[in-house]
Amino acid sequence: MTLDDVDAYLDTLEGCRARTVDGRRAWYVDGLLVARADAPGTLLVRLGGAERERLVTAYPGTFGVPPGWEAHAKVQADLSGDADAVRDALHRAWQGQRAARA
């Protein structure tokens, strides 16, 4: 999966818009972060709590939580990992941000 693949997928989700912030690609719903490019080959996805733990446990080669992010509702996705799991995480992040605005 590439950032172009992420962009193409998120473009199919209602209200999700791409922007460039501090030189990085990012996607938002009504101003709320869904995901953003992180270190090369990785993506930050706005998910926390039980959903984040489920992903890290089920797909340890795809998702992780860098030490500085432990207190934040974010998970790091390796774009060379399971593409279906990354799309699922993006969808859940999009749903969560839409619900936050409802």
Structure tokens at 101: 């605005």
Q: Residue 92's pLDDT band (boundaries 50, 70, 90)? A: very high
What are the structural domain ranges in the chain?
Answer: 3-101
Fold for 3-101, please state it. Answer: Aspartate Aminotransferase, domain 1 (3.90.1150)
| Mean pLDDT of all residues in 89-97 | 96
DSSP state, residue 57? H
Rounded to whole angstroms, the Cα distance separating 88 from 21 reads 24
pLDDT at position 69, please?
Answer: 84
What is the value of pTM for the model shown?
Answer: 0.94
Residue 101 has pLDDT above 80, yes or no: no
Asked whether 39 and 11 are in contact (CB, 8 A), the reply is no
